[in-house]
Amino acid sequence: MNTLHWIKSSITIAKTPFYLYNEELILENIQKLKNCFHEKNYKILYAIKANSNLKIIKIITGAGLGVDTCSVEEIKLS
């Protein structure tokens, strides 16, 4: 299924408002970031305050990224 078809079909079944995430695209973008910094001694961190969705956090940490937290609640999420 192509991306446009996937978006259209998701819109027809979801109640509004809603967020639509593409795990494959998230992982693709993470890999692009890793490729940009692979020769450097960098640790890529995701700011949980940007989006505290547990599934997204699991995808991101599962791909090897760390998390940036600013509260005890955010630490518990990670």
30: domain range? 21-77
- Structural tokens at position 19: 């967020």
Q: In the predicted model, is pLDDT for residue 63 greater than 90?
A: yes
Q: Which has the closest alpha carbon to 64: 53, 38, 39?
A: 38
In whole angstroms, what is the distance from residue 78 CA to residue 75 CA? 5
Q: How confident is the model at residue 1 (pLDDT cuts 50, 70, 90)?
A: low
**Residue 7 is assigned to a structural domain of this protein:** no
**Residue 38 is assigned to a structural domain of this protein:** yes
**Residue 16 is assigned to a structural domain of this protein:** no
Residues 6+ apart with CB under 8 A from 61: 46, 67, 78
**Residue 48 is assigned to a structural domain of this protein:** yes
Q: What is the pLDDT of residue 72?
A: 83
Count how many domains the chain has: 1
pTM for the whole structure:
0.75
Tell me the average pLDDT across 40-67.
91
In whole angstroms, what is the distance from residue 26 CA to residue 57 CA? 11
**Residue 71 is assigned to a structural domain of this protein:** yes
**Residue 2 is assigned to a structural domain of this protein:** no
Q: What is the pLDDT of residue 30?
A: 96
**Residue 10 is assigned to a structural domain of this protein:** no
**Residue 42 is assigned to a structural domain of this protein:** yes
